[in-house]
Structure formats: C-alpha cells, structure tokens
C-alpha cells in the first residue's frame, strides 16, 4: 500500500510539472515521465500487457511526435522566454493550491464499498477478448489507422505556394 501511495504521489507530481513548467520541451518530457509512472502503476494493477502498450506507445511514440513538432515550431528568444515565464506564473499559481486542497478533502472522505458482479461468462484473458470477442473494435482500429495515414498524407503533403 505504501509503495502504491508513493507511485500515486509521483504520478500527480509529474502531471503537475508537465502542466506548469515553462519550456515546452520540458513539458513533453514531463508527459513521458507521467506515462512511465502510469505504466508502473498499471503493471501493479495486474495488467502487464496494457502497461507495455502504455510505456512503448505513450511514453515512446507520442513523446517522439511531440519532440518533432516542438523542435519544428519553437523559436523563442531569451527575453520573450522571461516574459512568458512571468505570464505563466500569474496564470498557473492557483493550480497547485487547487490540487492540494482537492487531495486533502478527498482523502478525508472514507469511501467504503464492495464490488459485487454478475458471474463471469467470458474468459478473463486479454488475448482471447481482444482477438476473439471484440472483432468490431479491431475493425474500428484498422479503419482508424487507415484514417491516420490519410490524414498525414493530406496535412503534410507539399505546399504549392511556398
């Protein structure tokens, strides 16, 4: 339980840093760290395959997408950076306070419940469920990947007028 609580605190802290840090690049790194911590948590919640996906896709692939887009778009002079830092401090100072207050209030509530479920009729195995029982989702995923390919073709194809 203690380990879980440490992981959860780390998760929230990483998310907070992601939102608050001034440099966009650090924000992307923070997001990857949040993903990595989340994947540890998912692994501890008896879901190893989803944890692997979270780690490789979210902390890996999405991090790469963000890094590429940030290096393409970001050109900040030091003076602009200083003013932006001040702006962000004025905009973001309430966030940690809100988070801490919410955390304190919510941990005070004593939540008690039991989880009763109707008897399981399907096997509890991710491979069987994903490949044998959810064909419609698989079809949807294939179509979405196709859509992504079309989107990349349409959005990134060379521009005629410079």
Partner 1 sequence: MLSLFLLLPFLGIIALNLPVKGRRDAAAFLYTLSLSIGQAIVVLFNPGDFWAKPDFWGGFFNLGLYADNLTFVMLLSIGIVVSTAVCVGWQTISDHRQRLNFYNLVLIALIGMNGTVMLTDIFSLYVFLEVTAISSFILIAFHRDLNALEGAFKYIVLSALATVLMLTSIAALLLFSGGTSFAAVSAAVKSNSGNVIVIIAVSLFICGLFIKGGLVPFHGWLPAAYSAAPAAVSILLAGIVTKVAGIYVLIRLVRDVFGPISEISSVLMLVGTFSIIVGALAALKQDNFKKILAYSSISQVGYIVLGLGCGSPLGIAGAIFHLFNHSIFKSLLFVNSAAVEKQTGSTDITKMGGLGSRMPYSNATNLIAIFSTSGIPPMAGFWSKLVIIMALWQMGHFTYAAIAILVSVITLAYLLAIQRKVFFGILPQELKHIKEAGIWIVIPAVTLAIIIIGTGLCFPLLFKSFLMPVSSFFK
Partner 2 sequence: MVNDMSQLFWMCSIAGFLVFIIGIYGLLVTFNLIRAIIGLELLTKSVTLFLILAGYVTGQTGLAQALAITLIVIEVVVIAIAVGIVLCVFRHNRTIDAQLLRNIKG
Site for partner 2, residues 82 to 141, rule: CB under 8 A: 91-92, 95, 98-99, 102-103, 106-107, 109, 111-115, 117, 120, 122-126, 128-130, 134, 137, 140-141
Copy the structure tokens of residue 28. Answer: 């992307």
Q: Left if phi > 0, otherwise alpha if psi is -120 to 50, otherwise beta: which for 122?
A: beta
Closest CB 154 distance from partner 1, rounded Å: 6
- Helices of type H across the chain: 2-20, 24-44, 48-53, 63-73, 78-92, 94-108, 126-128, 135-156
Q: How many residues bind partner 1 (CB under 8 A)?
A: 27
Q: Which is nearer to partner 2, 79 or 120 (CB)?
A: 120
117 three-class SS: coil
Q: Which is nearer to partner 1, 6 or 144 (CB)?
A: 144
Q: Does 24 contact partner 2 by CB under 8 A?
A: yes
The torsion angles phi and psi of 64, rounded to 5 degrees, stand at -65, -45
Q: Does 115 contact partner 1 by CB under 8 A?
A: yes
Q: Does 6 contact partner 2 by CB under 8 A?
A: no
Residue among 120, 127, 158, 162 that touches partner 1 (CB under 8 A): 120
CB under 8 A: which stretch of 30-38, 53-61, 88-96, 153-161 binds partner 1?
A: 153-161
Report the alpha-carbon distance of residue 58 to residue 52 in Å, rounded. 10
């Amino acid at each position: 339980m203690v380990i879980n609580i440490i992981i959860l605190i780390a998760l929230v802290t990483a998310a907070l840093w992601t939102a608050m840090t001034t440099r966009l690049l650090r924000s992307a790194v923070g997001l990857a760290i949040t993903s990595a911590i989340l994947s540890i948590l998912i692994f501890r919640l008896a879901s190893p395959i989803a944890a692997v996906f979270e780690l490789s896709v979210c902390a890996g692939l999405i991090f790469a997408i963000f890094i590429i887009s940030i290096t393409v778009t970001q050109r900040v002079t030091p003076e602009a950076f200083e003013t932006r830092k001040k702006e962000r401090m004025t905009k973001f100072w309430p966030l940690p306070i809100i988070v801490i207050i919410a955390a304190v209030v919510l941990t005070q509530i004593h939540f008690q419940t039991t989880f009763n479920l109707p008897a399981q009729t399907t096997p509890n195995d991710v491979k069987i469920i994903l490949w044998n029982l959810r064909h419609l989702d698989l079809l949807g995923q294939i179509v979405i990947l196709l859509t992504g390919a079309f989107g990349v073709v349409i959005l990134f194809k060379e521009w005629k007028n410079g």
